[in-house]
Each structure stands twice: as C-alpha cells, then as structure tokens.
Structure 1
Amino acid sequence: MFRLIQGEHFTLTDEDLTVTQLNFEQRLAALQSSDFAHTLTQIQRGVEREGLRIKASGALSQTGHPKALGSALTHESITTDFSESLLEFITPPADSSKTTVEQLNDIHKFVLNNLDDELLWPMSMPCFIDDDNGIPIADFGSSNVGKMKQVYRIGLKNRYGSMMQAISGVHFNFSLSGDFWKQWAQLHDTASSQDQVDADYFALIRNYRRTCWLIPYLFGASPALCSSFLKDKKHQLPFEKVGKGTYYMPYATSLRMSDLGYTNAEQSSLEICYNQLDNYVRLLRDAMQRPSTRFSQYAAGEDGHWQQLSHNILQIENELYAPIRPKQPTKAMEKPSDALVRRGVSYIEVRSLDVNPFDPNGIDQQQMDFLDVYLVTCLLMPSDELTLDTIATARENMNKVVLEGRDPELMLDNDGHQVNMRTWAGELFDKFDKVAAVFDQAHNTGQFSEAVAAQRAKVTDSAKTPSGQILEILLKDDADNSALGLLLAKEYARAYDSLDYTHLTQQDFEAMATTSLQAQQDVESADEEDFATFIKNYFNEPPAKKTPDRVRR
C-alpha cells in the first residue's frame, strides 16, 4: 500500500482501488441520509448455535444423532459439530433479529420434542465428562464427503483432545446489502465493485480485531468450569474452588476463549493477515501446505490408516481458530478460500460469543441488535493496517479480558498506550450511541439504543455481565456449575414445550428430516472413487484465481 496526495487518498496496489479517507463523524453523517439509512433495514443476520445433548442426570449423552432430526450431513438447519452429542442449529439469513429469534425457537422446540428424555446443555464449557474417550465423534455416513468430515474430527481429537471440542459457542453471521455498498462507494467516490466490498469488509474485521476484547467482557459466560475439564491439563491459572468440583477465576469472563478453551498454540505462528483478501487467502492456503512436526506422528492415509486428513498445520481451512472470519457460501466440495477468491466476501462470521446460559436459545435479540451496531461502527471507524505487533497486542488484550475482565483496575494496550479497560470501553460506547440512533431512525424504533444502553450498564457495573451473574449464583449457594446448568436445561425444555411454532411447523421439520435422510443416501450412492483417491483429488485441485473484473451489479 502506498499513500498519495498527503494522505487524502490511498491506493491498494493489488486491487487497483482508490478510496477517499473519511473520518468516523463524516461517515456517520452520510449514513444519516434517508437513502443510506434505509439500507440498514436490509442487513442480513443469522446464527449458528452449538449445544451438547445431555442425559436427565446431567451427564453427556452417548447415543447417536437422533434419526428423527434427519441427516447431520445434509440437513440445512440441524447438524452436529465435533461430536454426535454436539448439536448445531443454523438459521437462514433474516433481515430482522426478531425473525432470527423466532427461527431459533422453532428449531429448539422441534429438537427438544425429539430427544426423548435428553436435554440441551445451556453453557459453553461442557458438563461433567469423566473421560475424553466418552465423547463420541460425529458420524456422517459412508459417503466420501461423510468420511472426510469424520476423519477431520478424528484429527481434531488427536491434535487437541476431545474435551476441547466439546466446548460450545454461538456464531453470529452478518452481511450488508448491495444497496448499502453502492451508497458506500458513492460516499467514497469510487466504483462499486466486489474488490471494494472485500477491502471494506476487511477494514471492518481489522477494527473488530482491535476491539473484540469487548465481546467476552459483555457476553462472556464461562468464568467457571467443571473439574473434569481440567483432568490431565497442564496450566498455571490461579483457580479457586466452589461447590464440590467447580473451578473459577474471580474476574474471568470467558474461559472458553482462554488458552484452556478453543485456541490452538500451533497456529500462533501463522499470523494470518487481515489487511487484504489476497494475503489472507495466501496465508490460509500456506497453512494447509505447511507440515507440522507436532502432528506428523498421526497417520494421514498411510497404509489405509486415517488419524487425520494431513500432516500439515491445518487439515482444512475450517481448522483455523479465529474470533472472526470473512465468509462466502461454498458450493459442493469447494474450499472456503476458493469461494472467497471466486466470489468475494459475502458476510462475516463473529465467533467469539459464549452460549448465553440465561436465554433458552443461547443468544437473545438484544445481543444481536447490539452486534449490528458494533459491527457497523467498526466499518465507520478508520482502519489502519494491522502489523505483527498490533496483532500480538490485540491477542494480549483479549487474553487479559477473558481471564481478568471484571477487574476494575484492568489496563489494556490501546495503540501503545496503557488505558483502563472501562475508559476505552466508554469511548467506544460514545460511538455506539451515535450509530444506534441512526439504526433506530431507520427502523422507526428505540430498540438499538436500548440494546447499547443495556451493554453500557455492564461496563459501569460488572456484576451485570453474564460472567458476574453466574459467579454470584455459584458463590451465594456454594453450588456447582453443573447443578446450575442442569437446572436451566430443565427449565428451558419446559419453556419450549409450551411454545408455539412461528415460521415452520412440526410437519415442516419432519419433512426436512426425511428429505435430508434421502439426500444422504443419494450422496452415498453417487460415489465413484475410493476414499484415498477422493482426498488426494481434493487437496490436489489447483487453487482458484481471481477474475480480473468483479464489478457488483
């Protein structure tokens, strides 16, 4: 990147783009125009919610994926993640957070009505699990693609252990409309193109990476965990004990996001770039080609033995653990990086949300409304390129907040300056207030300002955070995390039982299940090559290249 005309413009040499540099206030003022503000009503969002199936006793379910739910391989809304016991619910894109909540209600109701005596664990950190080997790996059937999914998960078990894979989270998918990007291009006096959309999504992502420590503070809900999770794990964290076997840290917000949780030290050397799409894809592909000494001990097809898909740092691109990802829907057997290269960024996936144990769906409407405001604010703020130092700083800020976030004296690094976390959060919320007002005007509501105000109250009083509320309950009653989780799981099952369907009916879900089971059979019968050849062809496929002119129509 090089700068021209005394910093008023910059040119992305690899994209051949020119963008006028505007500050936050200038962009905010433009967004308030009726044509621009209207595009905020076209935002699409969706949710991917994970949750463990448990027995009525609170122990992990050992049964296979219920046939009544359909095929985990081909169902569009109900699948599994790492384990047969780890369900994942996916909502289609919607232009209303209220609709997304209703969609989640429908899915949860159908699933819980077909779990017999089982329940859905309402927390991110798993229930009591005595042994890693008691976590059944997901089975996607006998097709090559189904086997690939299972071998990938066997690789995850060998690389990181099954216990880490039993952690649940919520992913929030967010996209701005074509009309928005046309208005955005006019504001910045540039052509409306997919290249420009990609560049601006990456600008949003960079600001998210700088400030996403705020997410575990506001929504982190895993300050405590079951002692079984720490079995055979080496750590130096100063845990305290409550109940019979629950360990916690007094100021922790999200142990799920700590080094104990869903992280990967092997990937720390990758330094994935979020400055341009081209570099992001190049480094991601390189990680899939770079051998790992640590993982070389596991077979990757040698003599027909499959303990993982490859010996490389990443088996497939989905193995990259990141708090946010640029995304493009993939076609059958298409690699995510190839989809990005061919069609550009379609949406972003926020991956740093704990399951909200105080909401049956694991996420509530107010959280979604706040995330809308937060992500648009990240786009409106100027976004310098990240360096190795700033990436390391962002990572360190995140680590501090997940372990010590509710410490009123906690200091973070803001562009080389040590600042109190709450002071920095207050500065961000001043921006959120202004953006929320534009959202409210566009939607003729007050819900976005209310969502921001509710989160600001957590900055003022950390006891209002989910992590603070959980610890208050556990310490007051000297109770275990497992007891609280089981109590909530039973309460939510009763709540869904009395809830009416909104968008789909029981018959609709039954038809979807039947269709998905038939689709799995069709995939299995269509295989014409052995598994080893299938995997070889998948990895040997030449990487996609960008077409020269990707103008948005």
Structure 2
Amino acid sequence: MSQPESTAQAVLPSWVDSSLIQGMLRGIERESLRMQSNGFLSQRPHPQALGSALTHPHITTDYSEALMEFITPPQDTIRGALNYLMDIHAVVNRQLEGEEKLWPMSMPCMLDSTDDNIPLAQYGSSNIGLFKTLYRHGLGVRYGRRMQTISGVHYNLSFPDQLFEALQANETDEALKSLSLQDYRSHRYMGLIRNFIRLTPLVIFLIGASPAVCQCFMTGRDHQMLPLTRGTLYTPYATALRMGRFGYQNSAQKQLGIQYNNLHDYLEGLQKAVKTPYKPFTRLGLDDANGEPIQINDHVLQIENEYYSLVRPKQVPEDGETPSQALANRGIGYVELRAVDVNPYSPIGIDENTAGFLEVVALYCLLQDSPALLQDEQDVIDQNQAEVVNRGRAANAAIWENGQKYPIEDWCVIYMKQMQPLAELLDETYGTDLYRKAMQTMQIRVDEVDTTLSALIVGDTRTHGGMWHFGQMLAHQHIEAYQAHQLSKKKAAYFADLAEKSLQKQQELEQDSGISFTEYLAQYR
C-alpha cells in the first residue's frame, strides 16, 4: 500500500472471487449516555430490569454507570447486525426510568462542573465486579472523568478461513507459505491493522461526527475552540474532536511504542506496559488517606484494555484468559475498528452506509501489501490524523504520503477508486447493492464537503440553537423509532430471560468469593 497510484487491477487479485468472502462475520458495540430530561448526565443506577451490567452479554455499561454499551453477537450480514442492534435499543428504551433518554452524540451531554457527578459504573460486590469499578476509578484519577464520557462505535469484523487459505496458497514467500493457518491469519490481520491505521484519515473525514462540544465538557481545560452558539464550542473545520487531543487519548501511552508489525511484538509491548511503573501515576498513589485503593496499580496501563488504539487485534477469551493470552494462544480471530464516531442521525448510532464503507475499507486493507509501520511513517500518519480531526473540511486541508502532499479530496479519490472493485465483490457475495450505495454516499461527501456528517452537525447545531437543543430533538426522534420498531414476543421474552439469568449469575459470583477484595487486589498487584 505504499504507492497511492497503484491500479485497481492490483487491488483485487484475479483469483479472488465471492465464494472466498462468504462467511464474513461482523458485530457492533455502541456506547450511549443516559441523559436526564433536563439534559444533564443521569445519576440513576443501571436499570434493574435490564439485568446485570457485569454478566449480561448484550447490555452493559462502560466507564460510567450512565454510559451504556450495547453489543451484538456476530452476524452474517450487515442488516442482521443493524437489526439486532435496533432490537437492543428498543428493549433498553422500554426500561429507561424518569423520562431518561439516550444521548445521540459521541461528545457528551451536559456535565456538572465537578467530576464527582460522573458516577462510576457499579458491578456489585464480587471481586471481579469491585475490580472493574476500581479500574474505572483509576482512569478517572489518571485522566479525569470527563474524557471517559465520550461515546463511540466499535465495528468488529472477521474474514473466513477459506480466504486466508487462498491468500496463503498464492504467497511467493516460502516462509509465509510454511506458517500454520493460525499464524498466517494473524500475519494478514496485522497487515490489515497497519493499513487501516494508514487510512484512518479517510475514515475520520468521511464518518467523523464530533465537530462540536458542550461548553461544560471543556471546564478547566485550555483550548482555542470558538463559540458556535451559546453553550456550544467548535473548531470551524473539525470532523472528529473525539479522535483528537481533547478526545480519548493520553500522553503516557504515546511513549509506549507498541508496534503492529507482528503479533508477538504487539503482545510484548502491551505486556511491558501492564508491568512497567510510570512515575506520574506512582505520584498519584495506590491508596487514599484511609487506605482505600484508588487505582489498580501505578503502571503505564492498569490492565490491557486501558490501551486506547484506532484498531485492535482480538480473540474471544476463554475462562480465566486475559485478552493477550487469548491472542497468544489462538491468534487473531477478528479486528475491532474503533475510529468510528456515533452517527447522531441514526437511532442506533450507525447506518448501512457506514457499515458497508468500513467493510470495503477493511477488505482493501487485508488484500493490499502492508509494509512494516516504522516510527517515521507513524509520525506522518499522526500529523495527517491531526489535520483531518481539526481542519479536515478546510479548503486547503492536505495529506502527506510518501513525501508528497495531496489536497485531502484528491487523496480520498485515489483510494475510493481503488476500493470500487471490492464494493462490487461484496455486493456479488451478498446479492445486494448495499456496498456500492455506501461507496456512492461516501463519494458524494468527498465531492461536496458540506454533505459530510461533521458539516451537517455544525449546521444543524447552529440552526437549533446549540448542541443540547439539537441533541434533545434527535433523542426524541430516536425514541419514536424505538417505539415503532417491531420487537417480536419471542425476542422480548429472550431479552427478559437474559436479564433474569444475568442477575442470577452476578449473585452466584458474589456468593462465590473465597477471599476478600483486599487479598484479591494484593494478588493482582
């Protein structure tokens, strides 16, 4: 992928046909804050009727008790995944209390002036439940709680083994041909990840949807944002502030130097970060004046999940495994694409166009050459990402690649053209026109920057008199969509049963604790 001028013929090898793609799976994770009727963050506990946030497979919480996370199981079509996600939203909407609504944007609803009114997620009295809450307390101590109220969408994607077998059979490098299928699959997924990192500016430009923030989000922070309306700040040409310096990142992790050039080095870097003390975190202390723990440890990462990244290699952990152990034991099973803002115009935060586009991009990234990603190139990618995040819609916004400067639209066009055969292949695989339509929608955004999500949000926020008013209006619209969604009796009963079983499972965990949390934490430390 080092030459942007490469031809479409090279993008899709002649031996790749739709039968090799059949069996792709995708799952979606969507985060959303519960908001009170006055627009402020909910202070209520997670609704009991939805079950246990600790043990429910599809409805849980992320950082805050008010930050819900909805998780679909893997699905064999995009429509299947989106429909499942809509089912979850409809179920949750029925159980929200006190006129609460789901906030429809990545950047948070109104927050109080103090971080203490951002309630940490609670998972009960079991050791694992207390550990999860302590981890979140540590994040707040390290980075402040405000950053943790940002919502996103994670798009999980796996390709079938027959595709990796065919790719391996067509390799010319004997060393690659001799790898086990597990190791070869991991090798190709790491290549996908490197290429996705290179193309993140394209993703942010086309589906970035966080160009503005409530003024309250910036309390106590230095910034150069401008007032968009009363109570709302923005950067005039921004696309995705969630992905920038006021979003989900931190300086400690910049120094990690975690590599994506092979799975072994990636896991080694992650393990080092989990085991290496970091002086600024050491100075915060492990416990408060009363001897109560305030963070799990003083290491660069408390646990592996603390590492924020644009895309992650993943494997489903078995009982007792950490994410790293699962990857080391069984290789990469799927990738998690994390550079995705919540689309506020969709009741479920993502639509067919975004899903189809992400799958085309991922298949492109898998099939292209993917040279090692070294620091010099990473520095250029970081510069490109900052450019797109902060001023991607500016007339003179530019991308650097291979020492050459491209106007952002020209750079996008190069890759959009190269990806077109892959959209056609995916349409052929599924007997649909979804992928071509998704690419047409994205091409319109490249051709006319005012049709990008970020531009539309700036205009609509201004029209409605601020982010809060605009968000409230969308939240009301989305409630109508949830209420109109036909949830079968069978599906409603399935979710009711899941809720009940999850509460039972949490209770079992709480009765099962053989040691105190103090001992449990001491063992981990």
Report the TM-score when normalising by structure 1. 0.90
- Candidates 504, 510, 513, aligned match of 1:524: 510
Given candidates 80, 85, 103, the residue that maps to 1:104 is: 85
Question: Match for 1:49 among 21, 25, 30?
Answer: 30
Question: What secondary structure sits across from 2:26 in the alignment?
Answer: strand
SS in 1 for 2:283: coil
Counterpart residue number, 1:145 = 128
What is the match of residue 178 of structure 1? Answer: 161
Distance (Å, rounded) in 2 between the aligned partners of 1:349 and 1:137? 25
Q: Which amino acid aligns with 1:435?
A: L
- What is the CA distance between 1:253 and its match in structure 2? 0.4
Rounded Cα–Cα distance in structure 2 between residues aligned with 1:58 and 1:31: 55
Give 1:530 deviation, angstroms.
2.2
- CA distance, structure 1, for counterparts of residue 128 and residue 492 of structure 2: 29
- With 518-527 and 146-155 compared, the bigger mean Cα shift is at 518-527
**Letter matched to residue 184 of structure 1:** L
Does residue 113 of the first structure (1) align with residue 94 of the second (2)? Answer: yes
Q: 2:398 aligns with which of 406, 411, 414?
A: 411
Seen in structure 2, the aligned counterparts of structure 1 residues 347 and 24 have a Cα distance that, compared at 3 Å, is farther
Structure 1 residue 29 displacement after superposition? 2.8
Distance 1:494 1:443 in 2: 31
Shift of 1:336: 1.1
Counterpart residue identity of residue 150, structure 1:
T
- Contact 1:30–1:187 under 8 Å retained in 2: no
> How far 1:243 moved relative to its partner?
2.3
Give distance in 2, aligned partners of 1:301 and 1:230: 28
Aligned to 2:306: 319
1:325 alignment partner, SS class: strand
CA distance in 1, matches of 2:291, 2:76: 48
* Deviates most, 521-530 or 306-315: 521-530
Deviations 1:12-47 (A, max 9, x none): xxxxxxxxxx997356133543xxx22323110000
Give 1:509's aligned residue. 495
One-letter amino acid matched to 2:122? D
Contact 2:11 2:419 in 1 (8 A): no
Please, which moves more after superposition, 325-334 or 187-196? 187-196
Q: Secondary structure at the match of 1:350?
A: strand
Residues 322-471 of structure 1 mapped to structure 2, 5 A cutoff: 322-471=309-458
Moved over 6 A (4+): none
Work out the CA distance in 1 between the residues paired with 2:25 and 2:193: 17
Q: Which amino acid aligns with 1:173?
A: N
Residues 428 and 502 of structure 1, relative CA distance in 2, 3 Å threshold: farther
Correspondence for 2:3: none
Contact 1:102 1:503 in 2 (8 A): no
Distance in 1 (alpha carbons) for counterparts of 2:260 and 2:400 = 20
Mapping for residues 199-278 of structure 1, pairs under 5 Å: 199-235=187-223, 237=224, 239-278=225-264
Q: Structure 1 pair 504/261, CA: closer, same or farther in 2 (3 Å)? A: farther
User: Is 1:80 the counterpart of 2:61 in the alignment?
Assistant: yes
Q: 1:420, CA displacement in angstroms?
A: 1.4
Q: Could you tell me whether the CA contact under 8 Å between 1:102 and 1:502 is conserved in 2?
A: no
Distance 2:438 2:20 in 1: 20
Change in CA separation of 1:524 and 1:420 when aligned onto 2, cut-off 3 Å:
same
Deviations 1:527-553 (A, max 9, x none): 1122233234445xxxxxxxxxxxxxx
Question: Which residue pairs with 1:500 in the alignment?
Answer: 486
**Residues 150, 242 of structure 2: 8 Å contact kept:** yes
Indicate the residue corresponding to 1:127 in structure 2.
109
Q: Deviation at 1:476? A: 3.9
Q: Deviations over 1:147-193 (max 9, x none)?
A: 11000000000001111000100000000112221222222262551
Cα drift, residue 332 of structure 1? 3.1
Q: Relative to structure 1, is the Cα distance of residues 385 and 135 closer, same or farther in structure 2, using a 3 angstrom cutoff?
A: same
Q: Distance in 2 between matches of 1:490 and 1:158?
A: 34
Return the alpha-carbon distance in structure 2 between the equivalents of residues 459 and 282 of structure 1: 39
Residues paired across the two proteins, number:
512
**Aligned-residue offset at 1:472:** 1.4
**C-alpha root-mean-square deviation of aligned residues, in Å?**
1.7
Which stretch shifts more, 323-332 or 42-51?
323-332
Partner of residue 195 from structure 1, selected from 183, 200, 205: 183
1:546 — aligned with what? Answer: none
Alignment gaps of 5+ in structure 1: 1-21, 540-553
Instruction: Tell which deviates more after alignment, 295-304 or 412-421.
Output: 295-304
* Distance in structure 2 (CA, Å) of the matches to 1:108 and 1:504: 16
Distance 1:394 1:26 in 2: 24
Give how far 1:366 is off: 1.8
1:289 aligns with 2:270: no
> Does residue 140 of structure 2 align to residue 157 of structure 1?
yes
Structure 2 counterpart of 1:204, one-letter code: L
Q: Taking every aligned residue pair, what percent have the same amino acid on both sides?
A: 37
Which stretch of structure 1 is more off in the superposition, 146-155 or 324-333?
324-333
What is the one-letter code of the residue matched to 2:72? T
- Distance across 2 between alignment mates of 1:64 and 1:30: 55
Q: Structure 1's 332 and 537: CA in aligned 2 closer, same or farther, altered over 3 A?
A: farther
Q: Counterpart of 1:64?
A: 45
**SS at structure 1 position matched to 2:154:** strand
For residue 25 of structure 1, what is the amino acid of its counterpart? Q
Secondary structure in structure 2 of the residue aligned to 1:247 = strand
One-letter code aligned to 2:39: G
Q: String of CA shifts for 1:486-544, please: whole Å, max 9, x gaps.
A: 111011112211210269522211111000000001111111122233234445xxxxx
State the alpha-carbon separation in 2 of the partners of residues 309 and 165 from structure 1. 17
Please tell me the residue identity of whatever aligns with 1:440: D
